[in-house]
Structure 1
Amino acid sequence: MSNPYSDFKTQLQGSMVALVTPMQANGDVDYPRLAELIDWHIDQGTDCLVAVGTTGESATLSMQEHSDVIHYFVKQVNGRIPVIAGTGANNTQEAIHLTTEAKAAGADCALLVAPYYNKPTQEGLYQHYKAVAEAVDMPQMLYNVPGRTVVDIAQATVERLADIDNIVAIKDATGSIERGKQLIEALGDRIVVLSGDDATALELMHHGAKGNISVTANIIPKAMSDIFNFALKGDFDTANAIHNDIAPLHTLMFVESSPIPVKYALHRMGKIDKGIRLPLVWLDKKYHDQVDAGLRTAGLID
């Protein structure tokens, strides 16, 4: 029996932007700015947009805000490109609720971060993802980022989860090329492997990854789109040339915890207001000159 989600997997490729959630200076979600960012990214060639992921400050939005942003996001995109909605939680029932809301909003796929803080076993991880997949009939993507969650989805667990039809992809944000290669070799075309680490994404595409869910693409969507589209065509010489030009920005966007630097950069570019929510704070002044210099070199500010 064929997998009903096979056709959707082909859409999960290229440059996927983990979009910031613009906020006003008082911390309120800035919906007009969000609409402008979405339209800009689509115009710049972004292949998919991620709503309310880690970069979108999912951890500081209320449950209602989380759902509201996803609904607004889907409406603004209006079918022009796929929308991936961050719906992960360390409470399985909460993850099911958020994923149900994302489906109701019309999101194309749910991105589910590994349950953080409570440190589930591999069996617990399997049962968590299986429960969400069975509860909500929509494409779902695993998200492994042990540097944030303090839990690592083992390859054997990913292989078990790949047997579930609507688990269609994994965002591998380990930053380990070897881990990514092992996933690609083991999974074949069962689920799509995507990078979640800007600095190593292109290298992982050499080994068969289909694209990157990016932080840096928030500020240079056209360049990142070009890199991954050239890579998908097998033109790694051109992709590497562009990558080498913009590589310093990857470092700058992580001088402090993301999305602090990328929000500062977007503010300097005039794209968003100076809004971020506690416990995150605005970029430390000691980094301002360094980030500004990188933005000027890239032609993003005067």
Structure 2
Amino acid sequence: MFKGSIVALITPMDDKGRLCKKSLKKLVHYHIKNKTNAIVSVGTTGESATLNQREHASVIMHTLELADENIPIIAGTGANATSESILLTKNLEKSGISGCLSVTPYYNKPTQKGLYLHFRAISENTDLPQILYNVPNRTGCDLLPKTIIRLSKLDNIIGLKDASGDLSRVNQIKPLVKKDFILISGDDTTALDFMQLGGQGVISVTANIAAPYMTQMCNFALQGDFAKARLINKKLTILHHLLFQETNPIPIKWAAHYIGLIKHNTLRLPMTPLLKKNQATLSSTIDSINLYAK
């Protein structure tokens, strides 16, 4: 279940900034229909930073209910306080989620020892499978290969989402971790290259609006047919870049609203709506690919 196209799901909100359950239902069913391999609920793309703990858990539980066991749900449980990550994780232990995605603590800038002890403490307080998430350009710290290799020896730390942008890390990590340790890209623009080097999939922002394409691309890559995978990826390349022309999830939320997947283009401050000049370029790209809610 932790391979292929996994969507970093946006959290749809109504015009007052509350969870829009109707839009969430549409999103979940869109991914079931288009055979997305799994959903990450309330990861960083899901605006975890601006949801309180009650809301955080509520969105995950609503997503689980709507999925109705038709698609695995991975919960975002990262925080910059170890105790908060442990609490989020423990509160979900009997919920039915398939695993947790835990981002490195942001702003704190822990040392490698601090990062190791942080993830070890979470691991020791749960039996849920744990996927490490490294995204240094957003968190201010970098989980280095030597620390990942050390953490991989812990039983329930099963994989890594790597959004460092450094493709050389696949070859640094893969030979020195357990054979079943999962390496997943966290960067749509380099995901196919990551998979060709030995990664098993991508936790994707683009999949929010291009689920069938991302599923097909990852399936071809996992089958070793990289020629066909590259044809699909070529079609999506400009889209990958435009979805990060402003800070994620600003563009992807606008795009999901544009194609009719969510009712409102609502973000919580300090996030702001996509600039009009960027809406024009993104909409023309979406139209050229013929993306629409289906």
Task: State whether structure 2 residue 10 is matched by structure 1 residue 20.
Answer: yes
Q: How does 1:134-283 map to 2 (within 5 A)?
A: 134-272=124-262, 273-283=264-274
What is the alpha-carbon distance in structure 2 between the residues aligned to residue 119 and residue 268 of structure 1? 37
> Does the CA-based 8 Å contact 2:250-2:271 persist in structure 1?
yes
Please say which of residues 62-71 and 99-108 is displaced more in the overlay: 99-108
Note if 1:94 corresponds to 2:84: yes
* 1:296 corresponds to 2:287: yes
Query: Are the equivalent residues in 2 in contact too, given 1:159–1:187 (CA < 8 A)?
Result: yes
- Once the 2 structures are TM-superposed, how far is the Cα of residue 292 of structure 1 from its aligned partner? 1.0
2:6, 2:37 within 8 Å by CA — same for their partners in 1?
A: yes
What pairs with 1:38-57 in structure 2 (closer than 5 Å)? 38-57=28-47
Q: Distance in 2 between matches of 1:190 and 1:122?
A: 24
| 1:189 shift after superposition | 1.4
Contact 2:105 2:139 in 1 (8 A): yes
Instruction: Determine helix, strand or coil for the equivalent of 1:291.
Output: helix
RMSD: 1.2
1:75 Cα deviation (Å)? 1.4
Checking the alignment, whether the CA contact within 8 Å between 1:155 and 1:183 is kept in structure 2 is yes
Letter in 1 for 2:33: D
Secondary structure at 1:104 match in 2: coil
Query: How much does 1:190 deviate?
Result: 4.6
Aligned to 1:3: none
| Uncovered stretches (5+) of structure 2, i.e. residues with no partner | none
Partner residue of 2:58?
68
Structure 1: 5+ residue stretches without partners:
1-10
1:271 shift after superposition:
1.3
Q: Which amino acid aligns with 1:201?
A: A
- CA deviations on 1:125-158 (whole Å, 9 max, x unpaired) are 1111000011011100000000101101111111
The offset of 1:180, in angstroms, is 2.5
Q: CA deviation at 1:218?
A: 0.4
Give the Cα separation in 2 of the matches to 1:182 and 1:206.
15
Percent sequence identity over aligned pairs: 45
Structure 1 CA distance for aligned equivalents of residues 284 and 119 of structure 2: 43
Task: Name whichever of 229-238 and 97-106 sits farther off.
Answer: 97-106
Residues in 2 aligned to 1:225 and 1:16: alpha-carbon distance in whole angstroms: 9
- The normalised TM-score by structure 1 is 0.94
